[in-house]
């Protein structure tokens, strides 16, 4: 399958993917803005904390015994200390520290202002003529964790947004395209012989010109086919009366002239007139096959029609016709009865003309609607077999005929929604010819 695509699927998936990408872009942009604002807020918190702690620390340091070791502030209860601080003098000696402070995080000498290390963000300030310095450190991992949590909070709705958006977009696209889908179904459901205008009500303005052009094309095609069929049918009909008159006059002349060369010529003329009569009949059948009305509104039993047609041939030929039909069970089909009779006549006539002399012709109709007409004879080459549906095409044979029989049968089958299949050799045989049509396919 060369990738048949659905407009509904493409629009639904494309719009949902686009909405998802836009959401991700918005989350990314929001994250960058949030990162900048979060850094500002946390830096401000570091600075404010340092300015609050430093005066208290100065008082504590001035009141403590100068001989004591650096004082560590004890925690009231166990907790994670995100902000740690050191208070040092101008030489770097530690005067005061938070309970969880790690000296390796800070530099050898105290610094003022903001400093960023690979692991921490540090802010330093000084007091008492730069003799007391405070440095507060915050782990960068803490900031990263806070940022990640914020971004995850923004991404979390996406898990619900994607299926909801897909369902919503699918519903909207399906609703928007429902008239186009109805138009497609109207074209798809009609048979090959239906050239009536396709309803174009409520189509979008983008599709209306296409629908109008299609209807114009169908109308032109219908007129052309009607003109062709009318010419064929009228020509064949108008030929019947003069041909019948000519045959009658010729047969009367044959009785009046003596035997001899002139009598032989009249026989040849009679054969030619009979050939023209058969051709006119085939042309009328072809006009019927190409016209509308090959399908009836209700299904009908085709067994009686088949039995009647076979009976006609049995009375007109000495070749055995072996008929097989379901015993007491109808074979219902929507194919028109007259069209089915023409189809059967042409298939049987083809089998009688081109089958082996004296060999029986087998006609069968199964309960599933499969019609088979089989005749004995030499195998038809595959390249010839593929051309036999064409008009005025005949296999390599001396039998009389117009080359229209299988073309008429194929036209009727196609117009009724069925398919004519030709096989040689016949099924289960080493020779012969077989024509197969499933009349329930319509």
Q: Give the Cα separation of 43 and 229 in Å (integer).
A: 92
Q: Give the Cα separation of 63 and 55 in Å (integer).
A: 13
Residue closest to 353 by CA, chosen among 313, 315, 322: 313
Q: What angle do CA 76, 82, 87 make, to 5 degrees?
A: 75
Cβ(90)–Cβ(133) below 8 Å: yes
Cβ(339)–Cβ(416) below 8 Å: yes
Q: Give the Cα separation of 395 and 387 in Å (integer).
A: 9
What's residue 68's pLDDT?
Answer: 53
Rg (CA), the chain: 48
DSSP output for 371-394: EEEEE-SSPPPHHHHTTTTSTT--
What's residue 75's pLDDT?
Answer: 54
What's residue 364's pLDDT?
Answer: 92
Q: Give the Cα separation of 234 and 141 in Å (integer).
A: 95
Q: Per residue of the chain (442 residues), what is the pLDDT tens digit?
A: 455 677 777 887 888 888 888 878 887 888 888 888 888 888 888 888 888 888 887 887 777 655 455 666 655 556 566 788 888 888 888 888 887 778 888 888 888 888 888 888 888 888 887 888 888 888 888 888 888 888 788 778 777 777 887 788 888 888 888 888 888 888 877 765 567 788 877 788 878 888 888 888 888 877 876 776 666 556 656 666 776 777 777 777 777 787 777 777 877 777 777 666 666 666 666 666 665 557 776 888 999 999 999 998 898 888 899 999 988 888 888 888 888 888 898 899 888 888 888 889 999 999 888 999 999 988 888 888 878 877 656 565 655 556 677 888 888 888 777 888 899 888 888 888 999 998 885 4
What's residue 1's pLDDT?
Answer: 42
What's residue 372's pLDDT?
Answer: 93
Q: Give the Cα separation of 198 and 88 in Å (integer).
A: 92
What's residue 374's pLDDT?
Answer: 92
Structure tokens at 277: 């009569």
What's residue 358's pLDDT?
Answer: 83
Q: Which residues pair with 257 in a beta bridge?
A: none
What's residue 398's pLDDT?
Answer: 55
Q: Give the Cα separation of 217 and 202 in Å (integer).
A: 20
| Long-range pairs, 106-113, Cβ under 8 A, ≥24 | 106/135, 106/137, 110/86, 110/135, 111/135
What's residue 306's pLDDT?
Answer: 92
Length of the chain counted residue by residue: 442
Cβ(15)–Cβ(167) below 8 Å: no
Scan for tokens 């008082």, then name that residue: 59
Cβ(437)–Cβ(422) below 8 Å: no
pTM of the model: 0.47
> What residue ranges define each of the domains in the chain, with the CATH number in brackets?
7-162 (no CATH), 192-292 (1.10.287), 293-441 (3.30.565.10)
Q: Which residues, in sequence order, are CB contacts of 39 under 8 Å at separation 6+?
A: 143
């Amino acid at each position: 399958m060369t990738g048949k695509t659905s407009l509904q699927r493409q629009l639904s998936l494309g719009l949902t993917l686009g909405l998802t990408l836009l959401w991700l872009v918005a989350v990314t942009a929001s994250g960058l803005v949030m990162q900048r604002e979060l850094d500002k807020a946390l830096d401000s918190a570091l600075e404010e904390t340092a300015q609050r702690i430093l005066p208290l620390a100065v008082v504590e340091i001035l009141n403590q015994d100068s001989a004591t070791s650096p004082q560590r502030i004890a925690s009231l209860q166990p907790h994670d200390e995100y902000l740690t601080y050191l208070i040092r003098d101008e030489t770097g000696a530690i005067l005061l520290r938070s309970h969880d402070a790690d000296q390796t995080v800070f530099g050898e000498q105290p610094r003022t202002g903001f400093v960023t290390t690979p692991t921490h963000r540090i802010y330093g300030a000084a007091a008492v003529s730069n003799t007391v310095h405070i440095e507060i450190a915050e782990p960068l991992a803490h900031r990263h964790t806070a940022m990640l949590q914020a971004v995850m909070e923004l991404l979390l709705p996406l898990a619900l947004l994607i299926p909801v958006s897909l369902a919503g977009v699918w519903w909207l696209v399906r609703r928007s395209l429902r008239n186009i889908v109805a138009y497609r179904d109207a074209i798809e459901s009609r048979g090959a012989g239906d050239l009536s205008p396709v309803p174009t009500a409520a189509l979008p303005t983008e599709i209306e010109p296409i629908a109008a052009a299609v209807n114009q094309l169908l109308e032109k095609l219908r007129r052309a086919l009607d003109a062709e069929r009318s010419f064929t049918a009228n020509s064949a009909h108008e030929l019947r009366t003069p041909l019948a008159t000519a045959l009658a006059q010729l047969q009367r002349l044959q009785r009046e002239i003596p035997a001899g060369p002139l009598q032989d010529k009249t026989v040849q003329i009679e054969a030619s007139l009979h050939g023209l009569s058969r051709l006119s009949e085939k042309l009328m059948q072809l006009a019927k096959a190409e016209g509308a009305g090959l399908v009836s509104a209700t299904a009908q039993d085709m067994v009686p029609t088949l039995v009647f047609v076979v009976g006609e041939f049995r009375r007109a030929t000495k070749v055995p016709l072996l008929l097989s039909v379901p015993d007491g069970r109808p074979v219902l089909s929507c194919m028109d009865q007259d069209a089915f009779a023409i189809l059967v006549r042409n298939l049987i006539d083809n089998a009688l003309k081109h089958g082996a002399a004296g060999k029986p012709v087998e006609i069968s109709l199964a309960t599933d609607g499969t019609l088979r007409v089989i005749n004995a004879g030499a195998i038809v080459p595959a390249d010839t077999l593929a051309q036999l549906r064409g008009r005025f095409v005949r296999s390599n044979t001396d039998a009389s005929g117009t080359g229209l029989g299988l073309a008429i049968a194929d036209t009727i089958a196609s117009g009724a929604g069925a398919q004519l299949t030709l096989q040689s050799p016949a099924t289960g045989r080493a020779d012969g010819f077989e024509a197969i049509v499933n009349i329930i396919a319509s």
